[in-house]
Amino acid sequence: MENKWKQWISGFGKKGKLPAKQQLLILLLAGILLVVVVSPVPDQKDPEIGTGAGQEETETEGGEATEQQYERLLEKRVEDTLECVEGVGKVKVMLTLKSSEEKVVEKDSQREENEITEEDSKGGSRVSEDRSLSHTSIYEQKSDGTQTPYVSKEMAPEIEGMVIAADGGDDPVVVKNLTEAVQALFEVEAHKIKIMKRTNA
């Protein structure tokens, strides 16, 4: 087979040496070889499942809500609730938080009491007590093996004050109803609730 190829190649330039079919076959093979050599080879890289930055962004989006997001969520819920009250009309609410969310970590308390009796050279005795109290945080183990403090209770942020603009904000009855509703929901003092008439702008 190799000798046959050499014969074809050596005689390719001599007129009438090779049949037309063989010359055409050689040209076709040479063209295919040229295409293979010139064509770029794509990089065989494994697709990235996820970068660190992407994972952090996902965790941030799916994590706990920020203080601003929590404020807006409360404002929207209050607006939707108060608009259902007769005579109130459209409502716009703005509130401020006194503190951020508080998490209470479970602790293991250990109390120790020791009583010590001391005798002096005169035959007298003195009793002293040694008391100590220590607290140790309790941890829980997650599925990935990490340990985090065990949260026994989560306390929502307290509301500092609230401003309500309502279509019926100039009606004393509506003002009274809105004030009592906010106090029932959040235990906010009456002087920290301001209700005004909403403009059409």
Q: What's the token pair of residue 193?
A: 């609730």
Task: Assess whether 13 and 96 both reside in one domain.
Answer: no
User: Would you say residue 54 lies in a domain?
Assistant: no
User: Would you say residue 56 lies in a domain?
Assistant: no
Integer Cα distance of 187 and 82 in angstroms: 16
Answer whether residue 72 shows pLDDT above 70.
yes
User: Would you say residue 43 lies in a domain?
Assistant: no
User: Would you say residue 53 lies in a domain?
Assistant: no
Task: Assess whether 163 and 142 both reside in one domain.
Answer: no
Answer whether residue 17 shows pLDDT above 60.
no
Q: Could you tell me the CATH number of the domain that includes residue 187? A: 3.30.300.30
Task: Assess whether 92 and 120 both reside in one domain.
Answer: no
Domain count, the chain: 3
3-class secondary-structure state, position 169: coil
Answer whether residue 109 shows pLDDT above 70.
yes
The answer to whether 167 touches 181, Cβ cutoff 8 Å, is no
Task: Assess whether 118 and 28 both reside in one domain.
Answer: no
Structure-token match 């970068």, residue found: 51
Arithmetic mean of pLDDT over the chain: 73
For residue 14, give its domain range: 2-37
Q: How many Cα atoms sit within 13 Å of 126 on the Cβ side?
A: 5
Residue 116: its pLDDT value, please?
A: 77
Answer whether residue 12 shows pLDDT above 60.
no
Q: Which of 38-52, 161-175, 176-190 has the lowest mean pLDDT?
A: 38-52
Report the DSSP pairing between strands 102-105 and 151-155.
Answer: antiparallel
Beta strands in 55-174 (DSSP E): 91-97, 102-105, 107-119, 125-137, 139-141, 147-149, 151-155, 159-166
Question: The pTM is what?
Answer: 0.45
Residue 170: its pLDDT value, please?
A: 92
Answer whether residue 100 shows pLDDT above 50.
yes
Answer whether residue 104 shows pLDDT above 90.
no
Q: What is the mean pLDDT of residues 131-142?
A: 76
